Each structure stands twice: as C-alpha cells, then as structure tokens.
A and B are shown apart, each in its own frame.
Chain A
C-alpha cells in the first residue's frame, strides 16, 4: 500500500531523524513471498526428490532438503531398472517430434498470417475465425476419424504421424500469432513491393520473411511448449512404448505400482525440464504467445 499511501509524516517532518519503518511495503513483500512459496512447493518437491540419494527418499521425509547432489531417482527414471523402462528413449522421441513439428507449423503459420494480414481476399472475414475455432475444439471430437485416417495413411503409431497431427492442429494458433504480428508491419512496404513488380511470393520472401524473427520466436516457443506437453494426441496415436513421447511414458511410469514415488518424481522433472528451461530463458516471448492465445494480443 505504501507506494500510493500519503507520505508518512515522520519521513518529511524536519528533524525527524528516524525513518519510519515502511510497514505497508513489508506486508506487501510478506504476502508476495508467501504466495511465491506456495507456487514453488510442488517444484521444490520435484527437484529436491530428484536430487536425493535412495537412502533419503522416504515419504515421511518428503519435505526435507537433500543432503547432497545424488540424482539417484533422476538417473533411474532416465535409464530404467529391472522393473520398469527408462524414459530416456521417450525423451529423445519427444525431441524428434517437437523439432520438426514446431518448425513446420511456424512456417505454415507465417504464410497464413501474411496472406490474412496483407492480402484482402473474399471471405477472409469468415476464413480467419473459422481457422481460429480449430484451437478451441475439444480434440476428442476429431480423434476417431483421425485414428482411421492415420491408419489408412500408414502413419498410425509412428512419430511422423504424430508430427503431422501437431502441424495440422497447430495451424490456428500459429496463424493467429503471425497475423497479429504482420498486422503491425506497414502496408506501404507491401505496396512498394507490388510497385517493384513483386508478387505474393516475392514480397513474402524478400520483405516479410526478413522481418519475421520475433513472431517466429513467439510461435516456435508456443508450439515447442504445447507439443512437448501434449498428452492426448500422443496417447491416442502411439501405443508402442518405443515410440511414445515422454508425457505418455511418464503417465505409464506413474501408473505402475512397482515404480517408487521418487522415481516418478525424477521422471516428472525430466519431462518438465526442457519447457521450464525455455521459459526461464525466453519467458518474454512465452508471455506474448500466451497473450495472443487469449485473442487480445
């Protein structure tokens, strides 16, 4: 409150040698720290458990800090044991899935966004919201034909099949991100290109693409995060543990009664790390994607 409250008398009175203790500010920080602690608790358990040695992982000492850096649970989650499969291979599956799917959907989104922002064509006012609705639908309403189609195309149960699915259903959000970004690019640039005799593609390649860096980063981070974190498409399209992405494998690991809770935590940390690292490093761009998703970009 103190930032806005009237200046305390003690601070301005001449000869007031002692500065008033800023209680308002202290209370404000107190509240924020308590809230931060609540938000960090689950992440603390995740990280602390993963770092402990097997001797320390009892449930009754769940909240105790680790005595050193052992990473026993984390390593077992990656490599597996006699009773369960490791998640290492699934982690790599997710990498192989996320990289091409992210790049392809960002490229498609860029082309769509450019046309929708800079080329007025008949029906654009219907096409744009019609595309956007694709990001709100419950995917349950497309899963049955999706499985049938992928089976026909011999892509069912494969990583390329899953890449394809994520690229297709990533079109709405990436189109939205790029369209909003290109709406801010001066139309004069496009007009100038037309005068120079460049067409739709020429203008895109020579004028638009070189300007697209920031939007590309926003769209790529968004897609990276949502594809890495996806579970529904992964569990529907892949059933072979060798092919499954990490979220699906983690859920199988956590559902198995023979796997200790600390190994589940190690696996969860493994699944969470890539997106958390990207968020920590590029949080600003993550935020922009988030805001675009609420359509009020």
Chain B
C-alpha cells in the first residue's frame, strides 16, 4: 500500500538527486546532453566564480536579516497576544494572512512598495508613505541600492513569514503551565524576569525548529527574488537558487547548474537532516 509512494520518493527524490549529481560531474554544458566525464571541474569553476561568491554572501545576509526579523517580530507579537485579549483571534488572523499568499504575489506587490521612484515619477510606494508621514529621512533606494540589495527582499520575506514564528511561539507560550508563572510571581519576580529566566529558556526547542524551518527556506529562496528584483545591479540580490535556474534553463549549462543545485542540497541537508532524525526518533520512542 505504501509501496507506490516509497518507489516514487526513491526515484523522484533520491534517484533524481543522484542523477543531478552525476550530471554535475559531466561536460553537459550545451543544449544537447553530453555525459563525457568532467570530474570536479564544474565545482571548481563554481567556487572560483565571482557570481557564486556574491551569492553566498547574499544568502548569509538574507538569512541573518530574515531570521532576526522573523524571530524578533514573531516573539514580540506572541508575547503581546498572550495577554488574553478578546480581540486576539482578529490580530492573529491578520498577522498570519501573508502566509497564505504566493511569494510571486508578495514579490510583485513589494516591488512597487519598495520602488525607489524616479525624478519623473517622484516618490512612490513606501518612500511616498514615509513622506506623507513626515518620515522623509527614511526614504531609500531599496533594492536598487547595491548596499541594501538582498536585504530589501528579506524585508518582504519577513513580512510574509513572521506570522509563522508568531504562531509557533504563541503555541509554545500556551503550552507552558500558568502555575510556573504564578510561582515566579509569588516569589516576587518581575514580568520581564519571568520572560527572561523562565519562558525564553522553555521556548528554546521552538526557536530551534523555527531557525531550521526558516533557515532552509532562506537557503532555497527563489520565487521572491524572481518576482521582486531578479539578480539586481552587480548581482546585489542574486541567490544560488536563482543562479542555478539562470545557468541551467536560460544558459543551457546543465552540468554547471547541477553543481549549484547539489551544493544547495548539501547545505539544506546539513541543516535539516539532524533535526529530521532527532524529531522522528523522538516520535517513535514516544
């Protein structure tokens, strides 16, 4: 009964990953397949490539900003919502709504929101809003400014995904028995001390899950970059997933693209496999 699915996953996940690995060791860098052996050359070329080095730095910057934003905002919102407000479901629904939307839609909307404007157009989007609010000094070039670049994409991604960490933390806070807080209060602990010394340590497993889930999303980020910025000036918003797609399906350098995909896979596996093994083992033992 599971056999068809097991076979499908064995072929379409593991078999295909293996085939991609094989392709990455060939000279198939043209439209027609060629399986002549190239050894590690595609990988050597990749790590020497100017664009790939920028991509790695961009991924690191994106991940740092995206994780900090999602964890910080998500935790703050969860703490605020954990106060037993009657309107809580309304707020929760609003914060989570972006999760239901495709990254393409987010990218199209945020491309206009973070549009830097031009001398002819004047200010548009968020810059225009800042001017309306007398916060004109906050105006920026956003994704057209190479110093910001990928961070503008991280802003849109944080808008989309921070509700997820909010939901995780809120569920975590709800699962901590009230008696613990009561006891601390009786002992004279201030509210912030209760958070710092009791709740935050107890929420650590949730932080770990969030870091792994969000971290693997940021390694794989593709759609949002396509719809919002593309590679940007001087590849300032380029990422490995985009580089792979560009190289493989626009440039027809299949072996080179396969090498990028395998590097990406290894990074994702390093992050997720230990967590996966740990989670499923804990479940079996339960």
- A63 near B128 with CB under 8 A, answer yes
A139, B262: Cα distance in complex, Å: 10
Instruction: For residue B159, give the distance in angstroms from its CB to the closest CB of chain A.
Output: 7
- A129 near B277 with CB under 8 A, answer yes
- B100 near A275 with CB under 8 A, answer yes
With A251-B226, A294-B168 known as contacts, the answer to whether A62 contacts B125 (CB < 8 A) is yes
Task: Tell me if B2 counts as interface (CB < 8 A to partner A).
Answer: yes
Task: Tell me if B140 counts as interface (CB < 8 A to partner A).
Answer: no
Residue of A nearest to B192 (CB): A1
- B102 near A272 with CB under 8 A, answer yes
A153-161, A185-193, A227-235: which one contacts chain B?
A: A227-235
Task: Tell me if A23 counts as interface (CB < 8 A to partner B).
Answer: no
- B102 near A60 with CB under 8 A, answer no
- B101 near A275 with CB under 8 A, answer yes
Residue of A nearest to B185 (CB): A4
- B97 near A279 with CB under 8 A, answer yes
Instruction: For residue A18, give the distance in angstroms from its CB to the closest CB of chain B.
Output: 23
> When the two chains form the complex, which single residue of B80, B112, B279, B281 contacts A31, counting CB atoms closer than 8 Å?
B80
Task: Tell me if B64 counts as interface (CB < 8 A to partner A).
Answer: no
- What is the number of contacts between chain A and chain B, taking CB atoms within 8 Å? 268
- B261 near A143 with CB under 8 A, answer yes
B42-50, B103-111, B145-153: which one contacts chain A?
A: B103-111
The DSSP consensus for interface residues of chain B is helix
Task: Tell me if A19 counts as interface (CB < 8 A to partner B).
Answer: no
Instruction: For residue B101, give the distance in angstroms from its CB to the closest CB of chain A.
Output: 5
With A1-B191, A276-B97 known as contacts, the answer to whether A265 contacts B109 (CB < 8 A) is yes
**Per-residue B-contact encoding for A231-267, CB less than 8 Å = 1, 0 else:** 1100110000000000100110010000001001101
> When the two chains form the complex, which single residue of A3, A111, A145, A293 contacts B213, counting CB atoms closer than 8 Å?
A293
> When the two chains form the complex, which single residue of B2, B121, B257 contacts A111, counting CB atoms closer than 8 Å?
B2
A46, B210: Cα distance in complex, Å: 29
- B16 near A28 with CB under 8 A, answer no
Given A32-B85, A63-B128, A275-B102, 7 more A-B residue pairs with CB atoms under 8 Å apart are A59-B128, A133-B276, A141-B265, A171-B9, A231-B104, A268-B104, A295-B279
